[in-house]
Amino acid sequence: MIQRSAKPREMVRLIAATGLAVALSGCKVGPNYEGPPVTETPPDFAAVPSQPVADVKSMPSAADAELASWWKRFEDPTLDSLVARALTGNLDLKLAQARVKEARAARGIIVADWFPAVSAGAAYSRSRSSNNIGFVGPNPPGGIDLYSAGFDASWELDFWGKTARGVEAADATIQQTVENRRDVMVSLLAEVASNYIVLRGQQERLDVTEHAVKAQEDSLRLTESRFRAGLVGELDVAQAKAQLENRIAQIFPINTEIERAINRIGVLLGKPPRAFASELGPRGRLPAAPSVVNVGMPSELLKRRPDIRAAERSLASQTARIGVATADLYPSFSIGAAFGLQSNQFGSWWNMSSRYWNIVPGFNWPVLDWGKIKSNIQVQDARTEQAMIIYEQTVLRSFEDVESSLLQMVSEQQRLGSLNRAVTASSRAVSLAEDLYQTGNVDFRTVLDNQIVLYNAQDQAVTSHALTLTSMVSLYKALGGGWETLEQDSWTPTLTPSSTISAAVEGFGKPQPPSPGEEPGGKAIAPADAPPNTTPAADLQHNRADSTAARPSAEPPAQAPAAPGPSNPPSTAPAQVAPPAPSATPAEKMPPGPRP
């Protein structure tokens, strides 16, 4: 019995020793992701006024941006309620969350390649060989029974880090999908607020237009009365009727815009278009504008805007895929093994004398593929270059979005101030013209002209007020805020080894739970024995020059590489980036991207 039990133990020791020896000498080929390229960042936003501006009541400021629940600064309970319902019912947001789930599940497929694949099976067969094919020996009457049961295992060692690079890419892809979800959230917040402002603005325009219609109906009645008295001619009556009908015609497109806004809000909240007609149909006023809008510094956009964070994670993921493709240049090492029981008699099937086993170490090396592998490496390198360009383009567009929104917000407030003064002056002019008309000092055309100027100024003032508020919403969207206080993501990866050795020796790994009151975050590829960092994200200094800075992530330890700072500038060539510094800092609330 001693000899029989020694061989299985020797087999296990041989497999472990072979795996450890190969894994210990393993490495990760391909470029290590160091961070995105350094982009030229302006020191401040040029459109922020350096001193108070006349008529600008909502002054932009370079102070730290205050973006948490920014929609509440409009002090409108209905808007707050719509935003809350949109966050739970919007289908685009649910679709983005489903894509996050898909990316997390896809990571598990890649992680599984780190471990041996083991299968168990049992079978019974009964067969008889032909007597006419050179059968050696007598053919047993009735055929031959064969009982078998056992385990088969295969293990491809991650000698060149192909699986490790695949996990790096998967981790970055998870973080990218989370940032895409946050970007959808930012856009959703802005779209709900913008459509609500459009709704209230059109309702105020409708009030102004109906008031103008009533005033011109009174004017028409007065003109008809004077015509019957022979004080004016029929021309005045015809002009009054024409002006009234033109004003009535403006009501219909305004009502159409109101209905469109209600329909759009319903769909944004994940409901049928007319679901909120009874709630939003009653007319309301435009929300109040915040007195100050803090925009912060341009460099903060790189840490906060989800689309920049997603572009950076896309670059990290694509850089890792270069390593996956490069590993195919080298031989792959594998170990196959089988152990079981086999007998042609059921009675002896479970005896140790029926056991069988084998170990089959081997390797495979593509010697001639006519440049297929190298072409794939070039494809991945070109895609990495594209991801780098997209990142740079996203950064520049973010600066443009903020500057344009600031310009519109300031200039629209100045325009609103002029229009308000025009309304006051026109109202006085109409009053004077009506008095002069009744005394016969001016003709009716003078009254009509002044009324047209007044009603147009009132309509433009309401439109300008709405545009001022929507430009503020566009600014908040361009700043990329609002998602920080709404993230509720407690996912933790089930395994984060950095190589075959950590997977084989240290087992299946145990996820580090988040600290109390803290969201789990992503972490860089790090040795399995690296201690977890439980520093709250709010206390981190986010210095990209620090070798322990964490990469942006929406995931609990998702192995995101660290980005460089000014003292450690990244290479602009995808194949020349340096290794990232490992970090296990929770990053669910971490600011993204490089810090210029």
Q: pLDDT digit string (tens) for 221-267? A: 888 888 888 888 888 889 889 989 998 999 999 999 999 999 999 99
Residue 143 has pLDDT above 60, yes or no: yes
Confidence of residue 97 (pLDDT cuts 50, 70, 90): very high
- pLDDT-derived band of residue 134, with 50, 70 and 90 as boundaries? low
- Check pLDDT > 80 for residue 381: yes
| pLDDT (tens digit per residue) in 146-204 | 889 899 999 888 888 889 999 999 999 999 999 999 999 999 999 999 999 999 999 99
* Cα distance between residue 354 and residue 146, in whole Å: 11
Q: Would you state the pLDDT for residue 27?
A: 79
**Average pLDDT over the chain, rounded to an integer:** 77
Q: Rounded distance, CA 216 to CA 211, Å?
A: 9
Residue with tokens 């995808």: 574
All CATH 1.20.1600.10 domain ranges in the chain, comma separated? 1-29+71-127+141-288+301-486
- Residue that the structure tokens 């072409």 belong to: 375
How is residue 135 written in tokens? 């059968």
- Phi, psi values for residue 337, rounded to 5°: -150, 155
Q: How far is CA 526 from the centre of its chain?
A: 25
pLDDT in tens, 498-523: 433 333 333 333 333 433 343 333 33
266-301 confidence digits (pLDDT tens): 999 999 999 999 999 999 999 988 888 888 888 888
Distance CA 164, CA 83 (A): 41
Q: How many CB atoms lie within 10 A of CB 20?
A: 15
pLDDT value at position 225? 87
Rounded distance, CA 322 to CA 229, Å?
92
291: nearest Cα among 423, 413, 197: 413
Give the residue with greater pLDDT, 12 vs 149. Answer: 149
Q: What is the pLDDT of residue 6?
A: 44
Q: Please report the pLDDT score of residue 299 as a whole number.
A: 82
Residue 14 is predicted with a pLDDT of 52
Question: What is the rounded distance in angstroms from the CA atom of residue 45 to the CA atom of residue 49?
Answer: 9
Per-residue pLDDT at 192: 95
Q: Which residues contact 169 (CB under 8 A, 6 or more apart)?
A: 110, 317, 318, 320, 321, 324
What Cα–Cα distance (Å) separates residue 554 from each residue in 105, 108, 484, 519, 536?
15, 17, 10, 9, 15
Is residue 208's pLDDT more than 80?
yes
**CA dist., res. 432 & res. 469, Å (int):** 34
Nearest to 197 by CA among 477, 406, 483: 477
Stretch (H or E) spanning 437: helix 372-438
Residue 542: pLDDT above 50? no
pLDDT at 567 over 80: no
- Provide, rounded to the nearest whole percent, the portion of the chain with pLDDT above 90: 42
CA separation, residue 406 to residues 96, 413, 466, 525 (Å):
29, 11, 15, 40
Q: Which CATH superfamily is domain 1-29+71-127+141-288+301-486 in?
A: Outer membrane efflux proteins (OEP) (1.20.1600.10)
Instruction: Among 89-103, 323-337, 434-448, name the one with the lowest average pLDDT.
Output: 434-448
Residue 589 above 50 pLDDT? no
Q: For the residues 125-150, what does the mean pLDDT come to?
A: 74
**Strands laid side by side in the 144-157 sheet:** 117-127, 144-157, 332-343, 355-364
Which band of pLDDT confidence, cut at 50, 70 and 90, is reported for residue 82? very high
Please state the length of the chain. Answer: 596
Q: In this predicted structure, what is the pLDDT of residue 210?
A: 92
Backbone phi, psi, residue 553, to 5° = -160, 150
Contacts of 63 (CB under 8 A, 6+ apart): 294, 296
Residue 528 confidence class, pLDDT cut points 50, 70, 90 = very low
- With residue 237 as reference, give the H or E element that holds it: helix 234-249
Q: Residue 585 — pLDDT band, cuts 50, 70, 90?
A: very low
Which is more confidently placed, 223 or 419?
419
Helix axes 234-249, 162-228, angle to 10 degrees: 160
593, 566 contact by CB (below 8 A): no
Q: Is pLDDT at 575 greater than 90 in this prediction?
A: no
> How many helices (H) and strands (E) are present in the chain, helices listed first?
12, 6
pLDDT in tens, 304-321: 899 999 999 999 999 999
Distance separating alpha carbons of residues 156 and 97, to the nearest angstrom: 33
- Residue 268, classed as helix, strand or coil, is helix
Whole-angstrom distance, CA of residue 499 vs CA of residue 349: 40
Q: What is the pLDDT of residue 375?
A: 95
Residue tagged 């290479």 (tokens): 571
Phi first, then psi, for residue 203 (nearest 5°) are -65, -40
- pLDDT tens by residue, 36-76: 888 888 888 877 877 788 878 887 777 777 778 889 999 99
Q: Is the pLDDT of residue 487 over 90?
A: no
Q: What is the rounded CA–CA span in Å between residue 45 and residue 57? A: 19
Sign of the torsion angle spanned by Cα atoms 414, 415, 419, 420: negative
Angle, helices 91-111 vs 162-228, to 10°: value is 170
C-alpha angle 242-243-249 in degrees, rounded to nearest 5 = 90
Matching residue, tokens 């508020």: 469
Taking the CB of residue 282, how many other CB atoms lie within 10 A of it? 7
pLDDT at residue 36 in the model: 86
pLDDT for 441: 85
Give residues with Cβ within 8 angstroms of 8, minimum separation 6.
339, 357
| Average pLDDT for 410-426 | 92
Query: What are the pLDDT digits (tens) for 104-114?
Result: 999 999 999 88
Predicted confidence at residue 45, as pLDDT, reads 84
Which pLDDT belongs to residue 490?
53
